Amino acid sequence: MKIVFFGTPQFAVPTLEKLLAHPDVQILAVVTQPDKRRERGNKLTPSPVKTLAIAHNLPLWQPERIKKDIETLNQLKQLDADVFVVIAYGQILSKKILNMPKLGCINVHGSILPQYRGAAPIQWCLYNGEQETGITTMLMDAGMDTGNMLLKATTPIQLLDNAQNLADKLAVMGADLLIETLFKLERQEIEPIPQDNSVATYASLIQKQDYNLDWSKTAIQLHNQIRGFYPNCLTTFRNQPLKITAAVPLNSAYIHELPEQVTEKIHKIPDLSTISGQPGEVVSIIKGLGAIVQTGEGLLLLREVQLTGKRPQSGWDFVNGTRLTLGEVLGHS
Q: Report how far residue 78's alpha carbon sits from residue 70's, in angstroms, rounded to the nearest whole number.
A: 12
Q: Report how far residue 26's alpha carbon sits from residue 28's, in angstroms, rounded to the nearest whole number.
A: 6
Which amino acid is present at 290? G
pLDDT of amino acid 37: 81
Is the Cα dihedral 34, 39, 42, 48 positive or negative?
negative
Q: Report how far residue 216's alpha carbon sits from residue 222's, in angstroms, rounded to the nearest whole number.
A: 9
> Cβ neighbours of residue 194 under 8 Å, at least 6 residues apart?
148, 149
Largest CA distance in the chain: 72
Rounded CA Rg of the chain? 23
Tell me if residue 121 falls in helix, strand or coil: helix
Cβ atoms of 155 and 163 closer than 8 Å: no
pLDDT of amino acid 40: 65
pLDDT of amino acid 270: 64
* DSSP secondary structure, 186-236, as one string: HTT----B---GGG--EEPPPPGGGGB--TTSBHHHHHHHHHHTTT--EEE
pLDDT of amino acid 333: 47
> Cβ neighbours of residue 165 under 8 Å, at least 6 residues apart?
none
Nearest alpha-carbon partner for 4 in 70, 66, 64, 68: 66
Tell me if residue 99 falls in helix, strand or coil: coil
Nearest alpha-carbon partner for 282 in 318, 235, 240, 329: 329
For the chain of 333 residues, list the mean pLDDT of each consecutive stretch of 10: 98 98 98 86 89 98 95 95 97 96 97 97 98 98 95 97 98 98 96 97 96 97 98 96 96 79 75 85 93 95 95 97 96 67
Find residue 193's DSSP bridge partners: 149
> Cβ neighbours of residue 89 under 8 Å, at least 6 residues apart?
6, 7, 8, 12, 31, 32, 33
- Helix residue ranges, H only, the chain: 13-21, 48-55, 70-79, 95-98, 121-127, 163-186, 219-228, 260-266, 315-322
Q: Report how far residue 15's alpha carbon sits from residue 171's, in angstroms, rounded to the nearest whole number.
A: 7
Cβ atoms of 97 and 66 closer than 8 Å: yes
* DSSP secondary structure, 32-68, as one string: -PPPEE-TTTT-EE--HHHHHHHHTT--EE--SSGGG
pLDDT of amino acid 208: 95
pLDDT of amino acid 265: 77
pLDDT of amino acid 326: 95
Is the Cα dihedral 114, 115, 117, 122 positive or negative?
negative
Q: Report how far residue 234's alpha carbon sits from residue 295's, in angstroms, rounded to the nearest whole number.
A: 15
Looking at the chain, the number of H-run helices and the number of E-run strands are: 9, 17
